Structure 1
Amino acid sequence: MSGTSRKARPSLTQEILSYLGLANKTAAWGTLGTLRTFLSFSVDKDVQRLLRAIAGQGVDRHAIVDVLTNRSREQRQVISRAFQERTQQDLLTSLQAALSGNLERIVVALLQPEAHFDAQELRTALKDSGPANEVIVEILATRTPPQLQECLAVYKQGFQVEAEEDIKSATRGTLQDLFLALAKGDRETCSEVIDYHLAEQDVQALKQADRPGMEETWVLILTQRNPEHLIRARPVRLSHGLPCAPQVFDQYQQRTGHEPEHTIQDRFHGDAQMALLSLASVIRNTPLYFANKLHRALQETEPDNQALTRILISRSEIDLLSIRAEYKKKFGKSLYSSLQDAVKGDCRLALLALCRAEDL
């Protein structure tokens, strides 16, 4: 290829991996998660290793962490079933008896099915108040429709009440409307075709929703429209064949002179404002949203280990590499180093293992 030839633009995945120093390892990693299916998986060896870790004179925490943070969630479930069959003991109960504190909570989260873990976190948040609303937004807004559907089914089965009923009991007003809309999980699916006319209608509706009694317009559009309709990440063709146009958020800024988040800050207050701003952040850039949450959790006097555990585990097989890249880009320090500096005790080993590596 000549020096004047145009180079192909790298894909988003290649850009992220290049930023992390992993551009030549795409085939080995295969996803944007830090944790993937362990190819040399032997359930018998893992069961035996865990048995030795808890049966000796001293609990081998390193062995427990090494096994559980190097297996996919599906493989961990296989290990749990095999442990039960071979020992007639429940693995989760056995490990809880051997461990304590934050490490115990991390191990419980690793061994629980994803929907059970999310349902428990959602229940705890709904019975709390204030900052717990951020947890509710996180779970309801960042899970896929099938994940959310399963979470709500487990919630009903485990707590003998619909999550929607708990939402109605714990919230009111715009915040309640927002949570109930998110809990329906019926956001429109992404399309390769831009509906320009719907985008225009949504922009006009948001512009007009700046007076009392119009809060439902913001809730409807932010919870029903697909993210690419609100903020397009890549060029696609319009439904009528014209060149690609800015989507709702960008058009709104062009028409009003400020971003939708600015209007949310002016128009809403308290918990409803916080929840809508969090939702807008998820829509704009989900990895950056999680990077910000991790940074806040690490900046507290005592690190918020519950938030660190929930985010690192839930995103470890999805997009934790992207989150690490956003974290390093925004805060000038790697997530791995931040965890190393802020977290103490046995749980640090597990959280670092989930994070996986330093970003140079």
Structure 2
Amino acid sequence: MLLGDGMDRRSLTHEILSQLPLAQQTTAWGTLGTIKPYLGFDAESDVQYLVEAIAGADHGAILDVLTNRTNAQRQQITKVFQALTKQDLLKSMGAALSGNLERVIVGLLKPPAQYDAHELRAAMQGMGTDEDALIEILSTRSNQQLSESLAFYQRDFKADPEKDIASETSGWFKDILLALAKGKREHYTGIIDYALIQQDAEALADPGARSKGAGERTWISIFTQRSPEHLSRVFGQYQKSHGLEVEETICKRFRGDGQAAMLALASVCRNTPRYFAERLHNAMKSEHAPPLPAQGPGADDKVLIRILISRSETDLLSIRSEFKKRHGKSLYSCLQVETRGDYQAALLALCRAEDL
């Protein structure tokens, strides 16, 4: 179905966009993301283009629009598409696409908080729990982002996310995730509290022998409530005072998933882009999955898709830099090797460019 150019349609589009929250109409340029606001953005023109692309199964045209718009602009496109075609854009894309390409496009069209909510749900459904996905999402989102994601989780799945986490995990790992889900991490004000740095470093060094598990609970409390900027300084003070990196002590105090979660938290606090760079690198090691000729040598596509979508407007440029620095090759070239077809084109469009 093609759309006309009548004044009534332009008026309808203007009315729809005027009713959107201001936060959805503007996006700051001052980020280290690869996706920036599209200049001269026209939601109605994009809808017309997508209608024709869907009808003609033109995947390249779909990618051309959706990987060159911010999420806020995609939300406007979604609303205008619904108003002008009386159809749901997500469902239309689901019917027109399949496989990993569909996963990328559907992920791009959801609001970030809803996307995270659905990723959390997927990590706790089916055979086994995806512990790495849970800790990745819960440890790298702001308090507000977590609050919004858990609200979407409750709305879309009619379930309590904290109860689901509690039922799907156990031990210290469960305690870590539930503490993160509370969204109580302190906001960094720019003021360095040297006394608190010393206090926290000493608290981490206390063996907690007076009460079973007291030491571990202290570690979890500090790691999940202090700001990353503060924790980075605490780690430095801990090493200076006790001759150990916090990671060494984590490996002695914790086991299994709890240990992995605490090590991930330490990595996030030390250098978040580096944490994501390592996640991406590990996702492209061939031993993580059997060969899939249609998609590539065996990448963990869920990880690639989630990180490239979720970081494309925040710090993907920094992640690319860390990836090149640590592995001597660019993220872009690795994606070229590990993926194929339209799916490859989608990920490369989000990654944006080669790092020489």
In which range does the TM-score fall when normalised by the shorter chain? 0.7 to 0.9
Write the deviation string for residues 317-357 of structure 1: whole angstroms up to 9, x where unpaired. 00000000000000000000000111113200000000000
Question: Which of 255, 270, 289 is the aligned partner of 1:284?
Answer: 270
Please say if 1:49 is aligned against 2:49.
Answer: yes
TM-aligned CA deviation for residue 254 of structure 1: 1.4
Query: For the residues of structure 1 that align with 2:230 and 2:29, how far apart are their CA atoms?
Result: 30
Corresponding residue number in structure 2 for 1:156 = 154
Long gaps (5+) in structure 2: 1-27, 290-297
Alpha carbons 2:29, 2:37 under 8 Å: kept: no
Query: For the residues of structure 2 that align with 1:128 and 1:260, how far apart are their CA atoms?
Result: 34
* One-letter amino acid of the structure 2 residue matched with residue 60 of structure 1: D
* One-letter amino acid of the structure 1 residue matched with residue 43 of structure 2: V
Corresponding residue number in structure 1 for 2:15 = none
Please say if 1:78 is aligned against 2:70.
Answer: no
Alpha carbons 2:173, 2:258 under 8 Å: kept: yes
Question: Which of 281, 302, 309 is the aligned partner of 2:305?
Answer: 309
* Higher RCO (Cα < 8 Å, 6 or more apart): 1
Query: For the residues of structure 2 that align with 1:72 and 1:157, how far apart are their CA atoms?
Result: 24
Query: For the residues of structure 2 that align with 1:159 and 1:103, how far apart are their CA atoms?
Result: 24
Give the direction of change, closer, same or farther, for the CA distance of 1:186–1:285 in structure 2 (3 Å limit): same
Please give the residue correspondences for 1:197-216 in structure 2 after superposition, counting only pairs within 5 Å.
197-209=195-207, 212-213=212-213, 214-216=215-217
TM-aligned CA deviation for residue 130 of structure 1: 6.5
Corresponding residue number in structure 1 for 2:341 = 345
Please give the residue correspondences for 1:90-105 in structure 2 after superposition, counting only pairs within 5 Å.
90-105=88-103
Please give the residue correspondences for 1:85-164 in structure 2 after superposition, counting only pairs within 5 Å.
85-127=83-125, 132-164=130-162
Query: For the residues of structure 1 that align with 2:155 and 2:29, how far apart are their CA atoms?
Result: 36
TM-aligned CA deviation for residue 30 of structure 1: 3.7
Write the deviation string for residues 175-224 of structure 1: whole angstroms up to 9, x where unpaired. 11111110011111112222222111111111113655221011011001
Write the deviation string for residues 282-334 of structure 1: whole angstroms up to 9, x where unpaired. 11100000000000111134111111110001000000000000000000000
**Identity of aligned pairs, percent?**
56
Please say if 1:295 is aligned against 2:291.
Answer: no
Query: For the residues of structure 2 that align with 1:271 and 1:336, how far apart are their CA atoms?
Result: 31
Please say if 1:39 is aligned against 2:29.
Answer: no
Corresponding residue number in structure 2 for 1:319 = 315
TM-score (norm 1): 0.85
Alpha carbons 1:130, 1:271 under 8 Å: kept: no
Write the deviation string for residues 210-252 of structure 1: whole angstroms up to 9, x where unpaired. 6552210110110011111111xxxxxxxxxxxxxxx210111
TM-aligned CA deviation for residue 31 of structure 1: 2.1
Question: Which of 247, 251, 264 is the aligned partner of 1:265?
Answer: 251
- Could you say what secondary structure the match of 1:194 adopts? coil
Alpha carbons 2:53, 2:61 under 8 Å: kept: yes
TM-aligned CA deviation for residue 128 of structure 1: 5.5
TM-aligned CA deviation for residue 281 of structure 1: 0.6
Aligned length: 316
- Could you say what secondary structure the match of 2:260 adopts? helix
TM-aligned CA deviation for residue 276 of structure 1: 0.7
Alpha carbons 1:292, 1:327 under 8 Å: kept: yes
Give the direction of change, closer, same or farther, for the CA distance of 1:210–1:264 in structure 2 (3 Å limit): farther
Query: For the residues of structure 1 that align with 2:268 and 2:30, how far apart are their CA atoms?
Result: 24
Corresponding residue number in structure 1 for 2:16 = none
* One-letter amino acid of the structure 1 residue matched with residue 239 of structure 2: Q
- Could you say what secondary structure the match of 1:346 adopts? helix
Alpha carbons 2:82, 2:88 under 8 Å: kept: yes
Write the deviation string for residues 119-171 of structure 1: whole angstroms up to 9, x where unpaired. 01111112367671111111111111111100011111112221111111112
Corresponding residue number in structure 1 for 2:61 = 63
* One-letter amino acid of the structure 2 residue matched with residue 280 of structure 1: A
Query: For the residues of structure 1 that align with 2:60 and 2:170, how far apart are their CA atoms?
Result: 46
